[in-house]
Structure 1
């Protein structure tokens, strides 16, 4: 039931949380991956015996997903659906998923509140959501230390955590705002972690030959404050109440 294979320092924290839930349930799950793209999470989950539906707006990404699933021998357990996260309520039945993945999506949708409510509605009672969002604090610090102080100042002051009109994201979050968003959608946050605490800050020359050390550091720092709060992304693991 558990995805196997080498862990990447960029995704190891999320996989560690997911594996714990998969071990706890110990049965094939119905998984919904909203904005799942080419299947970085979907295909390993399908390879572990779970059935995964991936919703994504990009036909090219879904085509790559289909090829990837076929190459992994799990085409029968992966379903690709083209659509936007904002239209989730029209694409997936209520109470149909045990696990929902929503990674790097709430930053770009039109209405994150509506999307989170739809995510919660697709979960069966007791089901869980894995939510990954861009961290506003990390974005400010990254621009400041790279000398873009004007952009960092604009991002710091913007209510949505945007870095000007050319920003590719509509919003960024901190732990409080992300937690409040999930709670407003009817989910109960059980765990919070920082993803890529230092992985995006270290130059390649420093990292050479230190993948295992970086992996160990990321896992150790991910749930510790204040390191969690300055990671590039924030991971929130939330459950729909059983009753």
Structure 2
């Protein structure tokens, strides 16, 4: 059963199923397992700290609700800001099918004009996943995300990693493109590169700290998953679970951050909700 088709869950009894344990989403598990576990733990800490079962969560660029709907299924209220009307329509349908339509709100907007559509300083947690690659000014995007936080809120930041792209191009035999990505200030391997910008872990943590947060954790995401042949994962008994465990084991090790396809940074505010 997919995440979007599970039965409704009472807001007073949050659903605790992990994306990692959903056998119908093997590929999604590989992409989201590490981030989901970190995010879920951060939300649980905020619940304990605030004494409130339901938090207010903002998902910037949340699209059709890959994270928003599971977060709502935990019992939280989620506002999704996305520039695409089609994505927001899919979000509404997915939330309804999951029985959490009353806890998910979609509004059209973007990171640049965030406070044209949402409240400043009104959220316990902000998700900024797959956004910084596409905005004109990543620093402004992070500052706006932080400014949406309440005091002692948390920021979940996920962005494309430079090293993972370099390694992937090299292993595919595109050595000139790999070298181009290393030299390019935006980490692009050529005109055909679909990703406008990539980051190192150091660049992302600098953006988060520059916006006034402390770094709670840094994780490498999809360190191995994008390099392993799909047929191996799909057909070899136990391969998926073993690969998930390997990803989890490597995620926190700095040595693997430099080759991860994506990088996840958890920022924490201990005094204010941002400038």
TM-score by length of 2: 0.85
1:84-123 per-residue CA deviation (whole Å, 9 max, x = no partner) reads: 2221132221110001001111011111111111111100
Distance 2:84 2:31 in 1: 23
SS in 2 for 1:44: helix
SS in 1 for 2:271: coil
1:193 aligns with 2:219: yes
8 Å CA contact 1:135–1:234 kept in 2: the answer is yes
Aligned to 2:186: 160
**Runs of 5+ in structure 2 lacking a partner?**
1-13, 21-28, 48-52
1:34-49 paired onto structure 2 within 5 Å: 34-49=60-75
Pick from 12, 15, 21: which aligns with 2:33? 12
1:119 aligns with 2:145: yes
Distance 1:121 1:74 in 2: 27
Aligned to 1:151: 177
Note the C-alpha offset of 1:163: 1.9
1:216 aligns with 2:245: yes
What is the root-mean-square deviation in Å for CA atoms of aligned residues?
1.4
SS in 2 for 1:24: helix
8 Å CA contact 1:33–1:55 kept in 2: the answer is yes
Distance 1:120 1:225 in 2: 25
8 Å CA contact 2:19–2:32 kept in 1: the answer is no
Note the C-alpha offset of 1:2: 5.3
**Runs of 5+ in structure 1 lacking a partner?**
none
1:1-243 paired onto structure 2 within 5 Å: 1=14, 3-7=16-20, 8-26=29-47, 27-208=53-234, 209=237, 210-243=239-272
8 Å CA contact 2:111–2:144 kept in 1: the answer is no
Distance 1:149 1:157 in 2: 13
Distance 1:224 1:180 in 2: 18
1:126-185 per-residue CA deviation (whole Å, 9 max, x = no partner) reads: 000000010001111110110111211111111121222332222110011111111112
Distance 2:114 2:188 in 1: 25
Distance 2:15 2:267 in 1: 20
- Number of equivalenced pairs: 243
| Greater Cα offset, 168-177 or 129-138 | 168-177
Distance 1:54 1:108 in 2: 17
